[in-house]
Structure formats: structure tokens, C-alpha cells
A and B are shown apart, each in its own frame.
Chain A
């Protein structure tokens, strides 16, 4: 067609790699601080009484969750999209000025939103809905960013050379559509200045404050339909998109069964949306809805394991690669943790188990074997695979990567085991009673017993953060490592000692 040799353009991918790393450090650092605050409450005042407002647990907690979800994870999703998207569609962003413009606009607006989120959360401006804390002006900006992301995505798909869409693209599209729908419906809110109170006063509160459009049980239902499916379309679907591309690519092995990947895709889409009620067991939502959520949660193991087993079987006969390459170790352990948390989730969704697990640290344990072991590992692996290709240099240090792998694996393990023990202990102590039905323990009794586990969790989190800093350093040094030939980039990533 044209004479100039065409190349993939990774400009936007690189920009999002940067925010993945920076926001990862911020989010995880805040997480570690929070963990130690729970174990040692004096830390709420580390910077003195005067600044306590900004350093206490409640102010920092949404900063942690939003930084790791909407900062680290989302940036990772965008970075990999701008890399994988071009490659499997066989079309370069350099071919369209419009797409390049949209990509950059996407990045810069995203950055503006990130800054306003950080500032507003630190200032204590929040809607108080978990994972949906942003006030309405930010919500509107988020929608704009998302629409631009979508325009870029469908634009690229529109000019593709490959007729069919690779399975990862299906997952990226699902991410886009899923989050769009969830975010819009859960964040329906009314600015308080537009309302009128019962006594006739109007123009209540600051201009940026709002209240949810739903109330009571309805609000809870919409919230957990959103919350659970944010896990689906933020922590599962796009991460599956990544592993379906990066594991085959890095190992040089075709997906074990492409057909299985297609059917687990539809299975996942079909089942996930009905399971959100498992966050509301024994609450005021209708009983049939709770039962339905339990049943769908248990069925959810099938499509989840469909993808995870497909990935492990992709390595069939190639297990020496797992031993040899730390990069493949990350991905294989990632999909193992995925299997693990999607076994644990359905168990916790059984009503009688949830009676013990709900409100306890076991849930926190579940969250983090999913996010640290699966999401975190997979995003780091993706960036490790991308780095040599976008910088055209070998990965700075293989041994550093291997050390990081083991440090973080120990970190995750300390994290979820301590939270399991803490959670089940907590659940059992809360419900223990004597022969007359009097509670056997007061709340503070549980706190005393849990203290060592909280300290262990803090250490586990710290190890993970240390590993993440090693990752950041390794990627940073990769930018100045030995340049590589195009041919070295076929499959396994080139790594320095």
C-alpha cells in the first residue's frame, strides 16, 4: 500500500504505563499505611493532631481503594489496550491522526480527573458510596474520559486489517460497555443545591455536594450490583483480556483451546451480572434475590475456571518455561490466584458461610488474594512484556524480577492467610454465646485477639509494596538498558542478568 514502513505507535501506551506505576506506588503506599494504622492506631496521628484530619484512617481509605482501582488498575487496562489493541487488529495508531489525538486527549483528561479525585478525597469531599465516592462534577468528567476511550477503541476496531476480533478484544469491549453501564446507573445523583428540605429551605450545601437518586434498600441493591460488577468488569474481564494475549505471546504457545475461551466469555457475561446480591445476604433485600445471588455466585466458578484452566493448559508441555522465566511465573501464579479467589468467592457466597464471613477480615483476605495475586501480578507481567517492545531494550534485570516475584508472593501469602485466620476468628467470636444466649465476647475482646494478625497483614502489604518498587525501578532502568534487535522480540522477552 504505502512505501514508508509502518510501525505500531506506542506513545499513548507509554503514557499510561507511567501512570500505572506512579498510581500503583501511591495506592499501595497508602494501603500499607492504613494496614499499620489498624494494627497501631497511634499512626492515625503520625503528622500530629493538627494534620490528623488528613492522616486518619477514614480519610485515607477511599484514597487507597480509588487509587488502586481507578488509578493503578485502570491505567494498566488503558496501557495494555493501547498496546494489544493495535497488535491484534494489525493496525497502527500512526495511521490515523484522529485516533492519535483521541488517545492523547484520553490520557490528559484522565490525568485531570485523577488529580481532582486525589484533591477532593483528601479534602473530605465524598458521596460516601463505596468505590463511587466521586462527587457529580467529577462523575461527569469520568463519563467524558470514558466516552473518549470508547471512541478510540471503536475507531481502531473500525480501521482494522484483521477481520475477526481476537478474544482479548472481546474482553476489552466488554470492559468498556460494562463499566459504562454500571457507572452511569450507580452514580445517578442529585446536587443538594437543587433540592428543597421539608421546612422549605432550599439551596442546601456546597454546589458540588449531591445525594444518590436511590434510597434505602434500592440504593444498596444498585450499589452492590455496581460494586460486584466493578469487580467483574474492572478486576476480571480486562485482566483476562491481558492474560489471553500476554501469556500465549510470551510463551509462544497457542491458547490451549480458543473455543473454550469463547464459551467462557459468554458464560462469564451471562452469570456475573446476577451475582451482586451476595454482598447483601441477610439484609433487607428480598429473600429470593439473595438466594438467586447465591446460586449464580456458585455457578460463576465455571466460566471463571474455564478461562483460568485454559491459561494453565496453554503451558502444557512447556512447564520448563515457568521455571526459567520470572515473567511467566507472574502470569501462571496470577491465573492460579484467579482460580483461588473464584473458588473462595462462591464459598463465601453460600448463605451459611456468609453468616460467618460477612463484615469480617476474611472478606478483606478474599479481596486481596484477588487483587494482589491476580490483578497486580498480571498487570506487572503485562508491563514487563511490553517494556522491551515499547522501549526496544531488554529488561534491565532478570534476577531483580525473580527476587521481586518471591518477595511479593510471600507478601500476598502473609496477607491472605493472616486475614483468613483473623476473619474466621472474628466471625466465630461475634456469634459465640453462652447457654442463656448472652454474647460470650465483647467487641474489644476480638480486637485484642486480632492484633497480631493485623501486624502480619501490614508486613505482607509492605513486602508487596517493596516488590512493586523493585518493579518500578526495573522498568525505569529498562529505558536505558541494552538495545535489542527486532528479532529478539518474537516471544520470550529479552532480559539482562
Chain B
């Protein structure tokens, strides 16, 4: 097999994997609806809507630091 053929197979495989990855992600988003921290994805909109410096973060970086 010459290099061009290898490239072609490699390319095809990469694209296929990326497509599967993307669709798996979409499936995850719409079935789980929440991320690993249990935060509903939709509530992340509040990061923009409540963005004053003293507003409470949607999910603070570290709970123990915020006191």
C-alpha cells in the first residue's frame, strides 16, 4: 500500500470516528440533560445573565474557597 492510499484510509477512519463522537455527544446532551457535576446544561445561560462580579456563580470553581 502506498502512502496516498494509507492517507486516504486514515482520513476516512478519522472522519468516521469524529462523526461517531459528535453524534454520541449529541445523544449524551439530550438524554442526560445534565453534566457530570449534575448541573443542568440550560442553567449555564445564567453565566451571562447574572454576570456581575458579586453574583453567585452557577457552579463555583471550588466550594471550599468560596466563603
Binding site for B on A (CB under 8 A): 6-8, 87-88, 90, 92, 160-164, 166-168, 244-245, 248-249, 252, 254-255, 257-259, 262-263, 266-267, 270
Does the CB pair B48–A7 fall under 8 Å? no
- Do the beta carbons of A162 and B47 come within 8 Å of each other? yes
Most chain B CB within a 10 A radius of its CB, from A88, A160, A257, A259: A259
Q: How distant is the Cα of A90 from the Cα of B25 in the complex, in angstroms?
A: 28
With the chains together, A244 CA to B26 CA distance in Å? Answer: 20
Q: Is the pair A92, B53 in contact by a Cβ cutoff of 8 Å? A: yes
Interface centre among A244, A249, A258, A270 (most CB of B within 10 A): A258
Q: A259-B41, A270-B18 are in contact. Are A254 and B46 (CB under 8 A)?
A: yes
Q: Which residue of B lies closest to A244 (CB)?
A: B48
A259 neighbours in B (Cβ, 8 Å)? 29-30, 33, 41-42
Q: In whole angstroms, what is the CA distance A90 to B53 when docked?
A: 5
B45 touches A255 (CB 8 A): yes
Say yes or no: B26 contacts A263, CB within 8 Å.
yes
Check A166 against B41 for contact (C-beta < 8 Å): no
Return A38 CB to nearest CB of chain B, in Å: 41
Flag if A262 contacts B41 (CB, 8 Å). yes
B57 at the interface (CB under 8 A from A): yes
Assembly CA distance A7 to B54 (angstroms):
9
Residues of the B chain whose Cβ atoms lie less than 8 Å from the Cβ of A262: 25, 29, 41
Q: Tell me whether A168 and B53 are in contact (CB under 8 A).
A: no
Q: How far is the CA of A180 from the CA of B3 in the complex (A)?
A: 28
Instruction: Please give me the residue from chain A that is nearest to B50 by CB atom.
Output: A90
Q: Is the CB of B61 within 8 A of A163?
A: yes
| Chain B residue with Cβ nearest A169 | B47
Chain B 24-67 residues near chain A, CB threshold 8 A: 25-26, 29-30, 33, 35, 37, 39, 41-49, 51, 53-55, 57-62, 66
A15 CA / B44 CA spacing, docked (Å): 30
Chain B residues with CB under 8 A of A248: 45, 48-49
Task: Give CA–CA (A87, B46) in the complex, Å.
Answer: 12
Q: Please, how many angstroms separate the alpha-carbon atoms of A148 and B26 in the complex? A: 35
Contacts of B60 in A (CB 8 A): 161-163
Residue of B nearest to A168 (CB): B48
Closest CB in chain A relative to B53 CB, distance in Å: 5
Q: Are B41 and A6 in contact (CB under 8 A)?
A: no
A90-B53, A161-B57, A270-B22 given; A166·B66 CB < 8 A: no
Complex Cα–Cα for A162 and B60 (A): 5
A245 to B46 Cα, complex, angstroms: 11
With A162-B59, A266-B25, A270-B18: A258-B53 Cβ-Cβ less than 8 Å? no
- Complex: chain B residue closest to A161, CB-CB: B57
Can you list 22 A-B contacts with CB-CB less than 8 angstroms, sorted by A residue number? Answer: A7-B53, A8-B53, A88-B51, A162-B58, A162-B61, A163-B57, A163-B60, A163-B61, A163-B62, A164-B47, A164-B59, A167-B44, A168-B48, A245-B48, A252-B49, A257-B42, A258-B41, A258-B44, A259-B29, A262-B25, A262-B41, A270-B22
Given that A166-B47, A259-B30, A262-B41 are contacting pairs, would A90 and B59 also be in contact in the complex, using a CB cutoff of 8 Å? Answer: no
